[in-house]
Structure 1
Amino acid sequence: MSTSAPPPAGLPAARIVSVTTRTLWQAATIAVGIVTIAVVVLKTIDILLLIFTAIVVAEGIRPIVRRMESARIPRPLGIGIVYLLLFAIMGLFGWLLASPLVDQVTNFANNAPSYFAQVQQWLQQLQTFLSGNPNIASAVQTAEAEAGNFLTQVLVGLVNVPLNVATVLFSLVVVLTMAFFWLTAVDGLKPFILNVIGEDDQSRVNVLFEDLSRRLGGFVRGVLVNMSVIGVLSGLGMWALGVPYALLLGIFAGLTEVIPYLGPYFGGGAAVLVALLTVGPLKSLEVLAVYVIIQEIEGNVLVPVVMNRTAQINPFTVVVAVLIGGSLFGIAGSILAVPLAIVVTVVAERVVAPAIKKQISSTTEAEALVTTTTETATPTVPSNPMKM
């Protein structure tokens, strides 16, 4: 009767893993739960985006509210003061810029059909020039059709400006309301969460909350600084070059800064196209040069100083997050991709990485213990046994 050979000395015995019915049910339950969560997220994505936006805004103004609390101003009153200051600043800019901005938007809407006709003419000339290559000609024809669709969307957006403004204002009220409740309620939830998780992990979870608050708040403040600086530089640059719609282009360039790294390309591209359509190719080259300088200022001064030191997220992660968020959820996904990437990064650094490190350490210690036990239990065979 043959028996299997024992494992070599110093190596643990092989373990046989059995899959039971209970294990299969647990795996199926987890899979169904994941699918259910995914369906719920997709169905309520708009609401979830509003909630996440409110949390990001709340963490952005939290340091100001804390300073007011240190001056013995109650938190709800401090939040109200911050909101009043924000509305006052927005009202001041609206009062100063509303009239010229409306004039420029109206002028652009009136001239948009002629601009589109000019772009179509350029594309047709390019298609005729490249007619010898059917692939390139087909690509130009596709670009012409896409340009027409884009212009249609722009005109529809301009016509629906009142409705869009009302929608934005409603969303703003919802976000500020949820941010208010987040700032007033989250500190009451933190002790409950810390008591639930146990004493061993309380300090680590508390550090997690503080790190999330600090990085998200730094991101919001950094974005506001970038938007202000880039918007002012772009508007002044276009005004100095005599490009029409300088105020509109400056505001657009500032708004695109809400998407770090990639936003300036949208603002610069729009300015170059407007200059090409209105004041000629030579002036458009000057506009391009101005935006190259602005891009250098953003990439080498604003982002490293304002963003990286506060949000602590590397450019590669930002670009990947923006591309994925944009492909999944459009413009809203691109805007919220970076703060979501910050959350994922902090959780990975504070929770996942320590857990993996602890698991590896425990496995190593267990293997060392098994090895020591095996070596102790193995009898020592004499090298020169005596013959009888």
Structure 2
Amino acid sequence: MTDNSTELETTGSSTTPDVDDGSVERVDFRVPGWVRRGGTTSWMMIGMLIALAVLIGLIAATRDITGPLAIGVFLAIVFVPIVNWLEEHGIGRALGAGIVLVGLVVVIGGAGLVTAEALGSQSDVLKENLDAAVEEVKTIVEDLPISDAAVDEVDSTASDAGPVVRDGVATAVAGAVSTAAGLITGLILGAMVLYYLLKDGPMLTRRWVDAKADRADRDATERIVNKALQDVQGYFGGKTALALVNGVSIAIGMYFLGVPGALAIGVVNVIGAYIPYIGAFFGGAFAVLMALGEGGIGLAVAAFALVMVAQLVLENLLEPKLLGSSLNLHPLTILLATTLGGMAAGMVGLILAAPVVAIGVDLKKELTAVGFFDDDDG
């Protein structure tokens, strides 16, 4: 009897259900890894875009000063080999930097005087031919099937725009004065930056590189700096040679075609060659207008063909040799960079966009080679 009760108690205890103490088993809800990675990357991209937008905004707001400063930095990179050469021949760096700076002022001022003299000596011819070109265009327009009502509407619109233009003159003049003041300040600062970088630039760069404690960092930094210097020097050296070839060939061609102001056309195209796309457009348009005024449509077409040969054929043949790897960029990349550069820094941005992008591409290659973009998380 006792054994049976004991067995029953034992059996009953084994079948008794667990008591609910109110606790709930926790479930581990985890966000999938691809969602976390995507979210982190998205926030990082947003932060980078905001930082880039702020940087572009600052450059655009201060471009009257930052533009000449940037030009000073790039000119220092281009001409520092001359100061180094002068130093090797017994001329101190301070004096050598002064000689190069004065030489640049003389060359730039001389080019401006030559351009002004060329344009001034041709001013009467230019005016006559541009007036003739306008009349030629008017004649062509008159032959087009345009109704008199459309002409009257255009004339009325132009008349209504007169007061608006007049009222905006004062604002435009004030803006021009402000811009000129900022430009003069920037030029002075740019000249000072240029002088000190010509004089002490290599020493400052050497100190910065040597300050790296890790040898691998030091070597990588030195490679990046040297490659950037090579890019800028190669780009502007090749661009100058290409501009001279382009301008001289167009001037000679215009002379033999009988287009007046051939020297002025050549000078405009030399200057325009430093500005990707836009400079070539204005230089070619100036030549075509001159030809249109002198000899009509036939001469204008001949001038246009000559400009196309010089700007397309010659550049396509000479650019790879003269500019080398510093312009190893797709034309679309250069177009986009030029557009953004012009929006951010005006004419200076147009000129410097291509070498800056080339430096950025080489910098990315070097950083990739040293593992800067590697994912530490695997």
TM-score by shorter chain over 0.5: yes
The one-letter amino acid of 1:319's match is: L
Deviations 1:247-276 (A, max 9, x none): 111111111100235533332232122211
Residues 87, 55 of structure 1: CA spacing in aligned structure 2 closer, same or farther, 3 A cutoff?
Answer: closer
1:101 to 80, 100, 119: 119
Which position in structure 2 is the counterpart of 1:188? 203
The one-letter amino acid of 2:234's match is: G
Per the alignment, in what secondary structure is the counterpart of residue 122 of structure 2? helix
Which position in structure 1 is the counterpart of 2:61? 43
Aligned counterparts of 1:94 and 1:38: Cα–Cα separation in 2: 31
2:257 to 223, 235, 241: 241
Note if contact 1:60-1:219 (Cα within 8 Å) is conserved in structure 2. no
Per the alignment, in what secondary structure is the counterpart of residue 258 of structure 1? coil
> Of the two structures, which has the highest relative contact order with CA contacts closer than 8 Å and spacing of 6 or more?
2
The one-letter amino acid of 2:200's match is: A
Query: 1:39-118 maps to which residues of 2 (within 5 A)?
Result: 39-87=57-105, 89=107, 99-109=117-127, 112=130, 115-118=133-136
The one-letter amino acid of 1:287's match is: A
The yes-or-no answer on 1:214 pairing with 2:226 is: no
The yes-or-no answer on 1:306 pairing with 2:322 is: yes
Note if contact 2:132-2:294 (Cα within 8 Å) is conserved in structure 1. no
Give me the identity figure in percent: 23
Aligned counterparts of 1:228 and 1:215: Cα–Cα separation in 2: 20
Residues 105, 343 of structure 1: CA spacing in aligned structure 2 closer, same or farther, 3 A cutoff?
Answer: farther
The yes-or-no answer on 1:203 pairing with 2:196 is: no
Note if contact 2:129-2:290 (Cα within 8 Å) is conserved in structure 1. no
Which position in structure 2 is the counterpart of 1:372? none
Per the alignment, in what secondary structure is the counterpart of residue 259 of structure 2? coil
The one-letter amino acid of 1:68's match is: L
Larger radius of gyration: 2
The yes-or-no answer on 1:320 pairing with 2:336 is: yes
Deviations 1:226-267 (A, max 9, x none): 222211111111111111121111111111100235533332
Note if contact 2:220-2:366 (Cα within 8 Å) is conserved in structure 1. yes
Deviations 1:167-224 (A, max 9, x none): 9888666534321112223333334433554314111111111111111111121222
Equivalent pairs, count: 330
Aligned counterparts of 1:116 and 1:87: Cα–Cα separation in 2: 38
Note if contact 2:67-2:345 (Cα within 8 Å) is conserved in structure 1. no
Note if contact 1:222-1:306 (Cα within 8 Å) is conserved in structure 2. yes
User: Deviation at 1:99?
Assistant: 4.2
Residues 301, 315 of structure 1: CA spacing in aligned structure 2 closer, same or farther, 3 A cutoff?
Answer: same
User: Deviation at 1:311?
Assistant: 4.8
Per the alignment, in what secondary structure is the counterpart of residue 140 of structure 2? helix
User: Deviation at 1:81?
Assistant: 3.0
User: Deviation at 1:287?
Assistant: 1.2
The yes-or-no answer on 1:280 pairing with 2:296 is: yes
Aligned counterparts of 1:303 and 1:270: Cα–Cα separation in 2: 23
Residues 91, 57 of structure 1: CA spacing in aligned structure 2 closer, same or farther, 3 A cutoff?
Answer: closer
Note if contact 1:57-1:220 (Cα within 8 Å) is conserved in structure 2. no
RMSD: 4.5
User: Deviation at 1:55?
Assistant: 1.0
The one-letter amino acid of 1:190's match is: T
The one-letter amino acid of 1:43's match is: A
The one-letter amino acid of 2:93's match is: R
User: Deviation at 1:301?
Assistant: 2.7
Note if contact 2:64-2:182 (Cα within 8 Å) is conserved in structure 1. no
Note if contact 2:69-2:186 (Cα within 8 Å) is conserved in structure 1. no
Note if contact 1:321-1:341 (Cα within 8 Å) is conserved in structure 2. yes
Could you state the TM-score of these two structures normalised by the residue count of structure 1? 0.68
Note if contact 2:341-2:352 (Cα within 8 Å) is conserved in structure 1. yes
